[in-house]
Amino acid sequence: MKNLPLRQLMPVLEGKVLSGSMTKTIQNAAKYGEHLITDSSLVFLLKRKSSFPLPAVHNLTVVTSNPKAVKSVRDDVTVVYVENVRKAYGRFISFYRNLFQLPVIGVTGTCGKTTTKEMISWILSEKDHVVRTKLSHNGLARNLDYLLEIDEKTDYAVFEMGVSGPNQLLYSAHYFRPQIGIITAIGTDHIEGFRSQEAYIAEKAKMLKAVGKNGTILLNRDDDTIRSFDLSEFTGKVLYYGQDPKAHYRAHSIQFNLKKNGMDFTLACHEGEFACFVPGYGTHNVSNALAAIGASTLVGVKIQDAVRRLHTFHHIKSHLQFYEGKKGSLLIDDTWNTNPTSIKAALEVLVETAEGRKTVAVLGEIEELGDYAEQEHRKVGALAAEKNVDVLIAVGENAYPICLEAAKRGMNPKAIHNVTTQAALLSLLGQLASPQTSILLKTSMRRSFSNTLQALVTKSKTD
């Protein structure tokens, strides 16, 4: 955080000092009970509680509408009274963000947003200082932490803007104020937090509002839902990426490069055609790369430099990582999270990299689908049958519709299994594993046997 004199913040807070000194420097900001409170913090007491014991740190400034609830007030604590703490907090967020005029890129979508954000950050960080969300840690409570990482040394900021309920995207936009927005893909996810699939889609589409009337939006032209967005009221700039002939950043001649563990493709855009390579398998990975290249060029990076930089990109863990598994099998770890859209991408990678091996797809329960659970699990079963995987293992009772639909679509019932315990899964995989077997683990390991991967891995394929 940029250090700020408390005196400078008083008009922003619209507060009155009840006790303590006003001549101090603020070095951190925190919401009580949500963020780490350190020396010289500005602490907002947002919750309604009868008692707020202060931590044993120095030079705190406390913003409250109930001074009597503040306990353990030492001599170096400044207590600031405001009528409405939440509004004062909102004004502080706006004030701090307005201190910095820098390009900010926001990324949302059902899947691909973490990788796209990481790719953009990797390209930009070659020469400049980039603030970004860490991994896929995009919960709303982290917004303040990320915002406060911006200071005088920051050149760019790239934020993943996830949603699990209504109005969350614009809530994050209040903190970050992106001028460039990316929507990677829209499938089915987090439905329990929304009234319907339509409400989920509408929430993602709010990125159009988040970038403002003069902002730029990058949209995946290959996604049917995104392509059907009503853009009539959007006054900013719209750019598309994908394989679609009308995309501004278009990929063609896409090939799996099994020797280099990635994807070859040709980028066609206004500046010409460029031969590209991106580490990591899958056409979805090409899509992520297109978005990253497009966003980077919008903030001044030359396309040639963005393409070159992507050659050395490293994916984060559990995103289609390859390992040598038990009995010499090939093991593909895609256990970071799961939804129908990412399952389709993972199955493509399983099949395209098998090189004659028997393909085994281990697919776990998909979380937060609400009333859509059965139909979405059945879609996954249809995908498995469509991709002609040799063996299907559905993990968990709620994943049983995957098996039903796969059988309905013509897959051999003897090759379809539903397991509900880790012991049963490991036993079955132990029987199937061999040098001629390729096994995809596509589950959310938060629920589907968190140490299954460790039990199966021998070593990383890149070791």
Per-residue model confidence as pLDDT tens digits over 276-326: 999 999 999 999 999 999 999 999 999 999 999 999 999 888 888 999 999
Task: List, for residues 85-136, the tens digit of each pLDDT value.
Answer: 999 999 999 999 999 999 999 999 988 999 999 999 999 999 999 999 987 7
Decide if 86 contacts 94 (C-beta within 8 A).
Answer: no
pLDDT for 191: 65
| Separation between Cα atoms, residue 333 and residue 116, nearest integer Å | 19
pLDDT for 461: 62
Q: What average pLDDT does the segment 346-367 reach? A: 94
User: Which are the contacts of 86, defined by CB distance < 8 A and separation ≥ 6?
Assistant: 46
Q: Is the pLDDT score of 459 beyond 80?
A: no
pLDDT for 189: 66
Question: How big is the chain, counted in residues?
Answer: 463
pLDDT for 452: 83
pLDDT for 362: 96
Burial of 308 (0-12, 13-18, 19+ CB in 10 A): middle
Decide if 89 contacts 62 (C-beta within 8 A).
Answer: no
Q: Domain 100-310 class?
A: alpha beta
**Delimiting residues of CATH 3.40.1190.10 domain(s) in the chain:** 100-310
The mean predicted confidence, pLDDT, of the chain is 92
Q: Is the pLDDT score of 25 beyond 90?
A: yes
**Delimiting residues of CATH 3.90.190.20 domain(s) in the chain:** 321-460
Q: Is the pLDDT score of 392 beyond 90?
A: yes
The DSSP line for 95-158 is HHHHT----EEEEE-SSSHHHHHHHHHHHHTTTS-EEE--TT---GGGHHHHHHH--TT--EEE
Residue 320 has a CB neighbour count (10 Å cut-off) of 24
**Delimiting residues of CATH 3.40.1390 domain(s) in the chain:** 4-95
Q: Between residues 362 and 445, which one has the greater pLDDT?
A: 362
Fold of the domain spanning 321-460: Protein-Tyrosine Phosphatase; Chain A (3.90.190)
pLDDT > 90 in the chain, percent: 79
pLDDT for 55: 92
The kind and range of the H/E element at 331 are: strand 330-333
Decide if 299 contacts 179 (C-beta within 8 A).
Answer: no
| Buried b or exposed e, range 178-204, using 16+ CB within 10 angstroms | bbbbbbbbbbbbbbebbeebeebbebb
Least confident interval from 27-31, 184-188, 258-262 = 184-188
**CA-based nearest residue to 164, from 370, 393, 350:** 370
pLDDT for 139: 74
Per-residue pLDDT band at 339 (split at 50, 70, 90)? confident
pTM: 0.89
C-alpha neighbours within 13 Å on the C-beta side of residue 341: 18
User: Which are the contacts of 190, defined by CB distance < 8 A and separation ≥ 6?
Assistant: 163, 164, 165, 200, 368
Q: Is the pLDDT score of 217 beyond 60?
A: yes
Decide if 213 contacts 235 (C-beta within 8 A).
Answer: yes
Q: Is the pLDDT score of 449 beyond 70?
A: no
Q: Between residues 318 and 382, which one has the greater pLDDT?
A: 382
Q: From residue 116, give the alpha-carbon distance in Å to each of 113, 160, 290, 359, 362.
A: 5, 9, 9, 28, 25
Fold of the domain spanning 4-95: 3.40.1390
pLDDT > 70 in the chain, percent: 97
Least confident interval from 16-20, 196-200, 367-371 = 367-371
Q: Between residues 276 and 145, which one has the greater pLDDT?
A: 276
